[in-house]
Amino acid sequence: MKNFVTIIVLCLSLKLYSQEVEQQFSEGRIVFIQERLVVDDKKLDSSLARNIPPLMSLMKNLLFHNSKKSGRAIDSSEIISKVDLQMKPILENTLDPRKNFLIPLTYKYILKDSIIESTVQDTPLTESEELTVIDRATGKKTYYRLKDSVWILDELTIRGTLKNQEEIELQEFRTIKKKIQGFDCFKVVVTIPQNILESLNLYAMEIPTSFAEEHKELSSLKTTYEMYVTDKIVCRYHPIVHFTEVLDNYYPIEIIKRESLLEGVENRITITELKLY
């Protein structure tokens, strides 16, 4: 969903993770790999056919709303044409993974006593040029960007933080077990609401309250995290899962993330390196 929300913002700018006891580790290295896979073409095709029309309708209404708010004359035919001819192809290409060459993302956590150094690598041969330093005591994040082989403070970067999820549904399956990276893990499934309108508000877009009813099908979607977790690692920071309801109790080692917006697609996150001491 994040990609879709980003596309809306961009389009509108056109004018639009075997110890026996729980431990708090001081140092170490954790490497996560995230892959986006199409596991059911029929489900994906059906999902796209069902969800693209209401997404298009939302985009058109946002354009009408923004035009009216700015005092510009509203040209219905121009707005409809802009959405159908310019935005629809971008939206379809963004939502459908089959139309993109998908490179696995590599998340690296380097634990250094009081801080965690976090990077994301999105190309196989090039190291990340962005660095996030997390204060493990306070949760404060400081962002740096690589420039001429020197890490420069990036004061303008804004990211999400660890949060409580008010409408979280969490189920434990402690009898369903798997040994991963030397840890005895068990299954946990978390389901949360997926509200596109609220996500747009997080991008500082003013969404009229009337849109909630008019586009209610986009406010009733869900995201599911099927996870294998351990309760023997204490760490409140994870590149994919940011919910205190999860990280206060266990640490996810493997994750399959599914969104009802795109059925038939899975984001699979695994830990390929885990060294803690």
Phi, psi of 205 (to 5 degrees): -95, 135
Q: What is the pLDDT of residue 12?
A: 53
Structural domain range at position 162: 2-16+21-276
User: Rounded to an integer, what is the distance from CA 156 to the centroid of its chain?
Assistant: 20
Q: What is the pLDDT of residue 66?
A: 72
Q: What is the pLDDT of residue 24?
A: 64
Report the greatest alpha carbon distance in the chain.
Answer: 68
What are the tens digits of pLDDT across the range 164-180? 556 889 999 999 999 99
What are the tens digits of pLDDT across the range 12-40? 554 443 444 556 678 999 999 999 999 99
**Domain count within the chain:** 1
CB 115 within 8 A of CB 136: yes
**Distance of alpha carbon 46 from alpha carbon 199, whole angstroms:** 24
Residues 6+ apart with CB under 8 A from 88: 52, 56
Tell me: pLDDT of 241 over 70: yes
Q: Which amino acid is at 9?
A: V
Length of the chain: 277
Long-range pairs, 162-166, Cβ under 8 A, ≥24: 162/236, 162/237, 162/242, 162/243, 162/244, 162/247, 163/242, 163/243, 163/244, 164/243, 164/244, 164/245, 165/192, 165/243, 165/244, 165/245
Tell me: pLDDT of 228 over 80: yes
CB 227 within 8 A of CB 188: yes
Q: What is the pLDDT of residue 76?
A: 73
- Name the residue with higher pLDDT: 66 or 5: 66
Average pLDDT, the chain: 82
Q: Provide the CB-side half-sphere exposure for 54 (13 A, CA).
A: 18
User: Rounded to an integer, what is the distance from CA 89 to the centroid of its chain?
Assistant: 22
Q: What is the pLDDT of residue 165?
A: 57
**Distance of alpha carbon 235 from alpha carbon 91, whole angstroms:** 37
Q: What is the pLDDT of residue 15?
A: 44
* Best CA proximity match to 266, nearest among 82, 30, 34: 34
pTM of the model: 0.81
What are the tens digits of pLDDT across the range 99-125? 988 889 999 999 998 999 999 998 777
Query: What pairs with residue 23 in β-bridges?
Result: 233
Q: What is the pLDDT of residue 6?
A: 57
What are the tens digits of pLDDT across the range 186-214? 999 999 988 777 766 545 556 777 777 77
Q: What is the pLDDT of residue 1?
A: 58
User: Rounded to an integer, what is the distance from CA 103 to the centroid of its chain?
Assistant: 16
Q: What is the pLDDT of residue 150?
A: 78
**Distance of alpha carbon 139 from alpha carbon 164, whole angstroms:** 14
**Distance of alpha carbon 117 from alpha carbon 107, whole angstroms:** 10
What are the tens digits of pLDDT across the range 8-17? 555 555 444 3
- Name the residue with higher pLDDT: 129 or 33: 33
